[in-house]
Structure 1
Amino acid sequence: MSPESARIDSPTTPAVDGTRIAYQVRGEGPPLVLLAGQANNHHWWDGIRERFTGRRTITLDWRGVGDSDKPDGLYSTPVLAADVVAVLDALGVDRADVYGTSMGGRVAQHLAIDHPDRVGRLVLGCTSPGGPNAVHRDPAVTRSLGGPGPEALRALLELMYTPRWLAENPGPYQVVGDERMTPVSRRGHLRASNRHDAWAELPRVQAPTLILHGSDDLMTPVANAELLHGLIRGSELAVLPGSRHAFFHEFADVVTPRVQEFLG
């Protein structure tokens, strides 16, 4: 069994509302929280977390996915941020660096806004400030994800990865959603991501911030990276040419060292 596919213990801890949140810890060193995308569990980071040597990496299964409880309601990016805080409390971690991608980047924004004392350095990947001022994907992209199962999966993969990478990597893929999700929790994740709006609050972010994005991302258009850069004072921006939504995975050889350099 490869290191990235090895089973990691997933203890649980109660969130504020009692929902049990599963989390996973690997490695030793300064804590780094890795936050996955919408409708995905901690396996989103398989093959990447191992690259953060000298770090204690912390992941979690969002409420509604993986080994966490799957409640009927209470899905929003501030609620998910509070779930991350519950995991940090369970681990006795006062402050951690945070790397969030896609919906995980939206949640990471609220971590830095609502819980500034818990965030050291912040990395936001392929994400958006949300709300009416954000740049939304083309409606045709959204429609492509609503087709029959095989067609929707292919559309999602093509949004995530370049054709060359897909041709060379037949799968399995860890960024296409958790099959154990209930329809209710899937709708909850979609609602949390779509209703995210941190625009007015992002100037309050105090954590040193690195913003990363793929130049060819059609899922979350790259213009959102520029918006985040303008809203978060002193932030750094890096756009990876020729990459799509899962740039952090496909181009990990370039991206992860850049993140490590920023985190120090």
Structure 2
Amino acid sequence: MGLLAGMCAMEYHQITRTADRTRLAVQVRGTGPALLILPGQANNHHWWDRIRADFAEHHTTITFDYRGTGGSDLGAAPYTTQLFADDALAVLDSLDIDRFDAYGTSMGGRTAQWVAARAQRRVGRLVLGCTTPGGTHAVERDQAVRRALASANATAFMTDLMYTPEWQELNPGPYATLGDPRITPEARRRHLAASNGHDAWAVLPDIAAPTFILHGSDDRFAPVVNAEILAGRIPKANTRIFDGARHAYFDECHPEAGPAVLDFLAR
């Protein structure tokens, strides 16, 4: 793995410049095979804080802050999931990582679809969580959810979309999955446009990597039917549904979800 050979388990930070000279904040932690992990819309690498250690025990985990979040520049518009995929590959190139696995959740799963389709030789295994193919083939959230997310009480509603009430009671937060607290309104609009504009349907059959698709059964943010839609379109795909879980299944169900992903990656 070139630059990362011999790295210890401490976290390593660097700035990667993209082809358009946008500065991206990069974080690397752990040892072992490279694992790119991609967060959800309008979030930075802290999305993974509660569960990253599970993966860093076995993998060199690579994250970066999307444009407009964390320590990264706003960069040029428009934002698309294809642009985020190009950014991810630029980060891996800057670290001299050729071969890697990828795990993306929510908008990160949309981005990971493009990464796997565009870098077929480089992606060993792919994990897609709580995500959709986008476009007309996806089943999107209903209008009631859209209206609630635009309301004055959107944060509380978003928390309920992510986690069950029972889990919230035992784990009162704060939750790093609710968005970068320092994101600007302009960056948030660009992220929303990227997620809403995603449509990878045409390239999903090009994904060569064995793929593991995970979803919560009670996900209203990205309805669970999308897991089967993706599995029917990606050639070597299997699914696992977490009964009763919502959008942040990877956090709430991590005692089961983490080992399931690690087992898949180790095969």
- TM-score using structure 2 length: 0.94
SS in 2 for 1:140: helix
Question: Partner of 2:240 in structure 1?
Answer: 238
Question: Where does residue 18 of structure 1 map in the other structure?
Answer: 21
RMSD: 1.1
SS of match in other structure, 2:219: coil
Report the AA paired with residue 82 of structure 1.
D
Partner of 1:70: 74
Pairing partner for 2:39 from 36, 39, 48: 36
- TM alignment of 1:179-258, pairs within 5 A: 179-258=181-260
Amino acid at match of 2:52: R
Tell me if structure 1 keeps the 8 A contact 2:11–2:30. no
State which of 120, 125, 144 in structure 1 corresponds to 2:124: 120
Q: CA deviation at 1:72?
A: 4.5
SS in 2 for 1:117: coil
Deviations 1:103-156 (A, max 9, x none): 0000000001112122110000000000011101111001111111xx111000
Shift of 1:98: 0.3
Name the residue aligned to 1:146: 150
Aligned-residue sequence identity (percent) comes to: 54
In 1, are the aligned partners of 2:209 and 2:236 still within 8 Å (CA)? Answer: no
Give the residue type in structure 1 aligned to 2:14: P
Matched, 1:60 2:90: no
2:55 is the counterpart of 1:45: no
Tell me which moved more, 114-123 or 97-106.
114-123
Unaligned residue ranges in structure 2 (runs of 5+): 1-9
List, as ranges, runs of 4+ consecutive aligned residues in structure 1 with deviation greater than 3 Å: 7-10
Distance 1:190 1:117 in 2: 30
SS in structure 2 of the partner of residue 11 of structure 1: strand
Letter of the structure 1 residue corresponding to residue 114 of structure 2: H
Deviates more, 1:103-112 or 1:68-77: 68-77
Q: Which amino acid is 1:236 matched to?
A: N
SS at match of 2:121: helix
Distance 1:10 1:191 in 2: 28
2: CA distance, partners of 1:118 / 1:46: 26
Q: CA deviation at 1:49?
A: 1.1
Match of residue 107, structure 1, among 95, 106, 111: 111
Q: How many Å separate the matches in 1 of 2:80 and 2:122?
A: 19
